[in-house]
Structure 1
Amino acid sequence: MEHHSQLDEHQEHQEHQEHQEHQEDGGHGHGGHGHGDHGDHVAQFRRLFWIMLVVAVPVVAFSPMFAGLVGYELPDAGWTGWISPVLGVVVYAWGGQPFLTGAVDEIRGRSPGMMLLISLAITVAFLSSLGASLGLLHHELEFWWELALLVVIMLLGHWIEMRSLAQTTSALDSLAALLPDEAERVEDGEVVRVAPSDLAVGDVVLVRPGGAVPADARVVEGAAAMDESMVTGESRTVRREVGDTVVAGTVATDSGLRVEVTATGDETALAGIQRLVADAQSSSSRAQRLADRAAAWLFWFALGAAIVTALVWMLLGMPDAAVVRTITVLVIACPHALGLAIPLVVSIATERAARGGVLVKDRLALESMRTVEAVLFDKTGTLTRGEPAVTAVEPAQGHDVDEVLALAAAAESDSEHPLARAITGAAGARALQVPSSTGFSSSPAVGVTASVEGRQVRVGGPYLLDEHDLQEVAVAEDWHAEGATVLHVLVDGEPVGALRVADEIRPESREAVDALHALGRSVVMITGDARPVAEAVAAELGIDRVFAGVRPEDKSAIVAQLQQEGRKVAFVGDGVNDAPALAQADVGIAIGAGTDVAIASAGVILASSDPRSVLSVIELSRASYAKMKQNLWWAAGYNLLAVPLAAGVLAPVGFVLPMSVGAILMSLSTVVVALNAQLLRRLDLRPEASAGRHLEAAVS
């Protein structure tokens, strides 16, 4: 087990996941395909739709019933009578194949749904049309044109549906990509490049500045500020020295290290996160789709109606009428409109969403979003920018803010450290004239030194003050309590001021939290940061509940805890460490500026890093669900009305629904459904518009 490579472990998960998804999807409206095949299915349904559309034109045009319905004469030539039957067989056998195989899966899974309902109708239409064409059944039972239209419309619906369901790359691929392509193993003083999978426990590996750690290890030489944000979510770099452990995938930002491997392959923390993602993805319940539920009810309704129709007409001593009415009922019961009702709404909703910067990957997540009661935000990179920023400057007596910031920026101008970038960025934002510097040097854990206009300028933390035997500025204690980094600026050994550097809260976050409160949703924050940092951010934003100091592997447990309290939870995050929690949540929302892993584990992706986009998702979920329900009522309502009429309920008063009128009603219901779905295009899903609407509604 210990010597499994990362790749083996990844493949096992991939196979397990594919197997699981294949089983889950089996009886579920798609002919039993797994998620990994969505790209293939889009192409398959698109190709089949266009071929069947071409074949269906002559089937419909040469159908005697359609000709009589529209009012034109067919040529007398004998061969014209065989165009519809011959091509109709092609439509049924080739175009109907995905539905027939899907129906078999639904029967095996004992979950009758859309596929079985479609298959029942096209099979009955096919057999009765064939019987009528061969002279075995009444000529009224020739439904070739109806069969062709049904198959074409259903293929169109499924093509639209497959396109909206097409998935992005696997989260597990992205997790594996965090590891470096090769590791530098130290052998007898020589550095040898090897694949991370070839490392064994006890190997000593060189990690260069800016390089990623290839396996879980212990530092044996050197010290570095480690960027662990992709695994822990902690925004600040963490100092790791001899004897400390480092995790695979983390990056040494400022200096090199030698580390001794303590775990490889399956045993690493990264592999543990991979397992959590795989488990959460495979165990997440796939709520049955709305249209499938409606189709299941309609299947039993149609079957029951057909049996009752057959029995009643038989008892009335009219076997011919019994066959005609029963078959008419079964064909009319097939939901043209139902096949388009949901896919059209989903397709338009996802397209509208994409224009508003919301990418919907899993339509079940979109359906669930309207019922979410708690929105759980990861702090770093979601509510905050995820990178340090200068949030306050405290000048010493006789100095001003601009002078302190300009001197600090001059000293830091040659450094690539995240704190240096924060300082130079702050000076740039204030359009300060930053003097040039020479003689730059940096000392890990102490700070930087440079010569600026003939004076020695030093910027650093508490160790720098210790060297000069100086005290921190008065406000430093409060800044520390809030979890900020405090940097002092010294000129020729004298303090001129201090900088407060912290992970900056996004200006949009307060509006997002207020708008969610206006909607009656509770807002929860989770972070790997210490409690003082978390409490400071929560107090500023008005957040209801805070989980601080949470390790990455425990984030999904917090989501599960909230779910056990009986809440539906949406989790919003952006890091690798968020992937298991995104998969565990009822709705996982990845901030698009985050990692590929988070994006792959989520059902919804926000292209911008604006937390107000969460409101766009809720609004879209509500609007699309309302449209789906309206469309289902239209589609199913037509069936509930037409089936009894086709069965002959009004026969005693002399009215029996002609097949042709039923077909016209069916087409009308499809048009109504399509037009209703188009109304979704009016929705303005820009984050500021969505948040603004909810805040205005709350005020009024």
Structure 2
Amino acid sequence: MNARNELIDQPVRHEAAAHPAPLWREALRQAFVKLDPRQLMRQPVMLLVEITALMTTLLCFVPGQAVATGVAVQIALWLWFTVLFANFAEALAEGRGKARADSLKAGSQGLIARRQVAPGQYEGIAASRLRRGDVVRVEAGELIPGDGEVIEGIAAVNEAAITGESAPVIRESGGDRSAVTGNTRVVSDWLLVRISANPGESTLDRMIALVEGARRQKTPNEVALDILLIGLSLIFLLVVATLQPFARFSGGELPLVFLVALLVTLVPTTIGGLLSAIGIAGMDRLVRLNVIAKSGRAVEAAGDVQVLLLDKTGTITFGNRRCSAMLKSPGVSGQALAQGALLASLADDTPEGKSIVEYLRNLHPMPEPARDRLTVVPFSAETRLSGVDWEGHVYRKGAVDAVLGFLGLTREQLPEPLAREIERIAQSGGTPLLVCADGQLLGVIHLKDVVKPGIRERFAELRRLGIRTVMVTGDNPLTAAAIAAEAGVDDVIAEATPEKKLARIRQEQADGRLVAMCGDGANDAPALAQADVGLAMNDGTQAAREAANLVDLDSDPTKLLDVVQVGKELLVTRGALTTFSVANDVAKYFAILPALFSGIYPQLGVLNLMGLASPQSAILSAIVFNALIIVALIPLALRGVRVEAADAASLLRRNLLIYGLGGLVAPFVGIKLIDLLLTAVGLA
């Protein structure tokens, strides 16, 4: 039975950028939905604020209160606003990824797969019913129904629905490019795919779960911070509970509404209200990089990584050897060598051949014959030559021995300058190619691994952050050292084997360091599993993807550097806003405590450093500031604190200065301004 897939790819875009108004409206609606105590259980501090808001609301209807009803109602309203603002921050963070999740869901609904029941026989089945080990056939124009590994065939696959990149990629059985992702489209030929994930376990399912904040699991750092916030809240609850007996012992009485207000302003509501939003926004930044995290621990570990193991090919270098220089034979003009090399490479569609053409076009622009007028001699493993015949002339390029054999020459007959250059290229780890025309040796082309632009600067920035980089390569030590020096890495593992990689990671971990590594082959799986942060390429082998705790859908090894940056931003943002939240409490002592005890101990009036108008105004101003500061910090929580290239001590000093000192000063200024406003409009 042949069942064709009828769905088309859904455009991938972020709702926040395309339709900002609906995002804000939905977040506002969700802020009220999240008032459900069952949902607030995930945020214990805000659950405490909701309980106090409910108590204050009830106290507004109790007669005989020492506080004016109007002031009590205002305090109750601002307590509810505090909870709503925290819920709004979380809903806004969740909404940034919801559009992408909806798009991914839409692309997989109703998808029909062709499951193999016998060789050459297939049955139509809903993709949601596929199980690990099932084999499906996917033809041109059809969507791949689930994550799997190609066991037969070769085809171009459009992964735009997952990665956002429209250029098709080649997937084939065997090798390190055999893995395919569900919800991507085959655009040519056909594939036989063995499904590798049960429903709910695929890359698509993980991505949807990751961008839907409600289903995001808390990371160990968040759990620890939650425990700290709960502990502080219990301490302040105990402190506030003892104030009333103390006041009565002194012959006075404290209004319950004021005690509730004091409790809310003292507990760390700022970080308590923003903690979930910070985590969701951090994971959203990871999703925007097209990286799937199998655990939140991996993202946090990325922020503390001290050693990065990076594969040379494709990460530090472009992967394909490129033309970097040419040297002519004695008696040959540079123009003749350039023309011969260009003509010998015009029909060469390999990356190396294209790089020679690009190099010469930039260096020696010259007329080029139409390709249909050339007789192409393609490269073959037997001849190790390629070139063209044109208007009776013969142009060839290839390996040294192959060209010498084509010309009927020996190594000893090479001109001395050319022989020395060939030896120098080989010793530096490059590849020499000889060029000839009409039986004459024109010169040599130097092909080499080219270090990616800007990679040296990125490594220098990581070094300033205290992260050491280690290049992993199968090259010999001499070649590896040359590339390492050019790229600016700190250390090299040459002639790398799986055992060498694993041993190095274990050694670093034994010395107390967190290690990150990226890889795509089955031989990388042991090291990926051992590393604290293992980033696998999505187009790599199934073994690598299963061993890693992060999967890059774009299959870009340099993404590991961005993951480290996201991890650091996540940790620094939490730390900065926690510092700000705790520092806030100092000003509130000076605002609320003198107001509470002014009738019992008039001497405490000297602590009213802000010169607040009245006890009612002081307490109401502190409550209003407590609510509004959450709103003011929402953009920072979503964007994250920028991590500059500096060591840990410098970052700590900077955050203490900005967020510690800022947390002390901001409430003094904010509460005083709110007090002036409330007094001016007669609300207190």
TM range (shorter): 0.5 to 0.7
For residue 522 of structure 1, the aligned residue among 460, 468, 477 is 468
Partners in 1 of 2:365 and 2:604 — Cα distance?
87
Deviations 1:637-664 (A, max 9, x none): 4566667667759944476994552231
Deviations 1:362-409 (A, max 9, x none): 898887767543344332333222333102323222224553343222
Partners in 1 of 2:45 and 2:440 — Cα distance?
83
1:457 aligns with 2:395: yes
1:662 alignment counterpart: 619
Query: How big is the shift at 1:439?
Result: 0.9
Q: CA 1:669–1:588 in 2, change beyond 3 Å: closer, same or farther?
A: farther
Contact 1:216 1:247 in 2 (8 A): no
Contact 1:132 1:138 in 2 (8 A): no
1:146 alignment counterpart: 78
Q: CA 1:340–1:541 in 2, change beyond 3 Å: closer, same or farther?
A: same
2:49 alignment counterpart: 121
Contact 2:313 2:319 in 1 (8 A): yes
After superposition, residues 362-373 of structure 1 pair within 5 angstroms as 371-373=304-306
**Other structure's SS at 1:505 match:** coil
Deviations 1:7-48 (A, max 9, x none): xxxxxxxxxxxxxxxxxxxxxxxxxxxxxxx99xx9999546
Quick one: which amino acid aligns to residue 618 of structure 2? V
Query: How big is the shift at 1:440?
Result: 0.3
1:96 aligns with 2:35: yes
Partners in 2 of 1:162 and 1:400 — Cα distance?
65
Deviations 1:263-321 (A, max 9, x none): 96559xxx9999xx9xxxx9996422786465334322222223323554566687x74
Deviates more, 1:398-407 or 1:461-470: 461-470
Query: How big is the shift at 1:567?
Result: 1.8
2:485 alignment counterpart: 539
1:156 alignment counterpart: 88
1:34 alignment counterpart: none
For residue 440 of structure 1, the aligned residue among 376, 380, 392 is 376
Quick one: which amino acid aligns to residue 314 of structure 2? G
After superposition, residues 185-196 of structure 1 pair within 5 angstroms as none
Q: CA 1:553–1:426 in 2, change beyond 3 Å: closer, same or farther?
A: farther
Partners in 2 of 1:284 and 1:386 — Cα distance?
38
Contact 2:49 2:83 in 1 (8 A): no
Partners in 2 of 1:564 and 1:423 — Cα distance?
47
1:628 aligns with 2:577: yes
1:398 alignment counterpart: 331
Q: CA 1:45–1:578 in 2, change beyond 3 Å: closer, same or farther?
A: farther
Quick one: which amino acid aligns to residue 149 of structure 1? F
Deviations 1:423-478 (A, max 9, x none): 11111221431543611021421221311342211222256247435446443344
Deviations 1:338-379 (A, max 9, x none): 35666888999999x99xx98999898887767543344332
Q: CA 1:285–1:565 in 2, change beyond 3 Å: closer, same or farther?
A: farther
Quick one: which amino acid aligns to residue 157 of structure 1? A
Deviations 1:566-586 (A, max 9, x none): 223455789999899889866
**Other structure's SS at 2:221 match:** coil
Partners in 1 of 2:132 and 2:64 — Cα distance?
75
Q: CA 1:416–1:432 in 2, change beyond 3 Å: closer, same or farther?
A: same
Query: How big is the shift at 1:505?
Result: 1.0
Contact 1:635 1:673 in 2 (8 A): no
Query: How big is the shift at 1:667?
Result: 3.1
Query: How big is the shift at 1:157?
Result: 2.4
For residue 377 of structure 1, the aligned residue among 310, 313, 330 is 310
Contact 2:278 2:570 in 1 (8 A): no
Deviations 1:496-549 (A, max 9, x none): 222222221124233333444455542221235555443321132342211245
Partners in 1 of 2:246 and 2:385 — Cα distance?
93
1:50 alignment counterpart: 28
Q: CA 1:590–1:561 in 2, change beyond 3 Å: closer, same or farther?
A: same
Quick one: which amino acid aligns to residue 510 of structure 1? R
Q: Provide the aligned length of Structure 1 versus Structure 2.
A: 549
**Other structure's SS at 1:504 match:** coil
Quick one: which amino acid aligns to residue 249 of structure 1? S
TM-score, L = length of structure 1: 0.58
After superposition, residues 235-250 of structure 1 pair within 5 angstroms as 246=175, 249=178
Partners in 2 of 1:629 and 1:136 — Cα distance?
39
1:510 aligns with 2:456: yes
Partners in 1 of 2:62 and 2:643 — Cα distance?
60
2:237 alignment counterpart: 303
Contact 2:292 2:550 in 1 (8 A): no
Contact 1:216 1:248 in 2 (8 A): no
Q: CA 1:247–1:681 in 2, change beyond 3 Å: closer, same or farther?
A: closer
Contact 1:508 1:610 in 2 (8 A): no
Partners in 2 of 1:458 and 1:194 — Cα distance?
53
Deviates more, 1:283-292 or 1:522-531: 283-292
Q: CA 1:478–1:680 in 2, change beyond 3 Å: closer, same or farther?
A: farther
Q: CA 1:102–1:95 in 2, change beyond 3 Å: closer, same or farther?
A: closer
Contact 1:631 1:673 in 2 (8 A): no
Q: CA 1:120–1:556 in 2, change beyond 3 Å: closer, same or farther?
A: farther
Partners in 2 of 1:690 and 1:607 — Cα distance?
26
1:388 alignment counterpart: 321
Partners in 2 of 1:490 and 1:273 — Cα distance?
51
Query: How big is the shift at 1:564?
Result: 3.9
Contact 2:304 2:568 in 1 (8 A): no
Quick one: which amino acid aligns to residue 632 of structure 1? S
1:430 aligns with 2:363: yes
Partners in 1 of 2:468 and 2:356 — Cα distance?
36
Deviates more, 1:610-619 or 1:290-299: 610-619
Partners in 2 of 1:416 and 1:161 — Cα distance?
47
Partners in 1 of 2:321 and 2:149 — Cα distance?
26
Quick one: which amino acid aligns to residue 158 of structure 1? E
Deviates more, 1:455-464 or 1:645-654: 645-654
Partners in 1 of 2:445 and 2:490 — Cα distance?
30
Quick one: which amino acid aligns to residue 486 of structure 2? E
Q: CA 1:613–1:443 in 2, change beyond 3 Å: closer, same or farther?
A: closer
Deviates more, 1:552-561 or 1:433-442: 552-561
Quick one: which amino acid aligns to residue 512 of structure 2? G
1:337 aligns with 2:270: yes
Q: CA 1:686–1:387 in 2, change beyond 3 Å: closer, same or farther?
A: farther
Contact 2:535 2:551 in 1 (8 A): yes
Deviates more, 1:543-552 or 1:671-680: 671-680
Which blocks of at least 5 consecutive residues in structure 2 are unaligned?
A: 1-15, 135-147, 155-171, 181-191, 208-215, 412-418, 606-613, 651-684
CA RMSD of the aligned region, Å? 6.7
Partners in 1 of 2:589 and 2:297 — Cα distance?
27
Q: Percent identity?
A: 20
Partners in 1 of 2:590 and 2:291 — Cα distance?
35
Deviates more, 1:438-447 or 1:493-502: 493-502
For residue 489 of structure 1, the aligned residue among 435, 438, 443 is 435
Quick one: which amino acid aligns to residue 55 of structure 2? L
**Other structure's SS at 2:376 match:** strand
**Other structure's SS at 2:365 match:** coil
Quick one: which amino acid aligns to residue 444 of structure 1? S
**Other structure's SS at 2:449 match:** strand
1:133 alignment counterpart: 61
